Structure formats: structure tokens, C-alpha cells
Amino acid sequence: MSLAMSYLRLPPSLEGELDPGRIARLVFGVEDWRRRHPATRLFDVGGAWQGLHYLLTGDAWDGRPPEADAVCGGRLLTEDGAAELGMDVIYLSPDRVKSAAEHLANTPFGQIAGRYDLARMAAADVQDAGQWARRPPQEARDRLLWPAYEGLTRFFIAAAGEGQAIYKVMS
């Protein structure tokens, strides 16, 4: 079963709460959390998340800010409480959102597309890379990763412009 990643952008405080962990429990502790927020504050990359991270950093999991912050970077809020919420939640503070947004805005997809090598991605255990290899060579890059990257860039720019934090949900 593949993991999927969704993003939610929120103001730094919610209902007077400033602690990101408590905000995560308030927001993601209800089953219909997606319906409670405008669609413009949500972004889904689905199973493309790790492929995007690999293209940005050259690694399946690691990397340095700001490029790693777009996908895997941030503060894991659910290390001990994932079972409580049924998902992992990663928090990215407004200052890190701004840095990541600037990096994404200044890094066109063509600049990172050279890292798209399905054999290397599969060897690094990038989720779904083995399945992508069964299709025409560039299909996943052009039809999945590129549009996801462009949407993620717009999403981060919007969040940074409003001084928002980003919560990443893996389920």
C-alpha cells in the first residue's frame, strides 16, 4: 500500500492556539478535516511525494533545507501520537515555508528533472518508482511529477505570501 501526502496551509495560530502539536490535534483529530477547510488551502500530491523529494534533493528521505522542506522536511508532530490521529503530521513553520517557497519559485522543474532516473530511484526505494518503470520512460515525470511540482510551487508561494504554516499529512 502506497503512502499519500496532502498539504494544508494554516495561519500560525488557530482558535487562539499557538502550539503546532495542539493545532494538529484540533485539525486532524476529526474525520472530515478536509471538508472543514477551503480547497485553496489544501494540496494533494498523492503517491508522487517521494518522487518529488528525490528530484529536489537527490535522496529518497534526506536533504537540506530549503529544498528538503518542500516534501520531507519539517517537524514530525506525531512521532508518538500517529495512532491517535491515524496519520503522520509534519509541521513547517512560516519562516521555513517562505524559504522553501523562494527555493521552489527559483528552481524550475527542468532544473531538477535531470535527476529523473527510474533505475536509481527504484534502487533508492523511492515509492512507486518500480511501477513507473513499467510505463513509457518519461510518463511519470511529465504527467505526474511535473504537474505536482508546479502545483506544489504555487501552493508554497501562496502560503508564504499569507505568512502561513504548512501541515503535511501522510496516510
If one counts the domains in the chain, the total is: 1
Model pLDDT for residues 61-117, shown as the tens digit of each residue: 999 999 999 999 999 998 765 567 889 999 999 999 999 999 999 999 999 999 999
Model pLDDT for residues 22-66, shown as the tens digit of each residue: 999 999 999 899 999 999 999 999 999 999 999 999 999 999 999
- DSSP class of residue 17? B
CATH code at 110? 3.40.1760.10
The C-alpha angle 65, 127, 122, rounded to 5 degrees, equals: 95
Give the 3-state secondary structure of residue 59.
coil
121 lies in which domain range? 5-170
Please report which confidence band the pLDDT of residue 170 belongs to, taking 50, 70 and 90 as the band edges.
very high
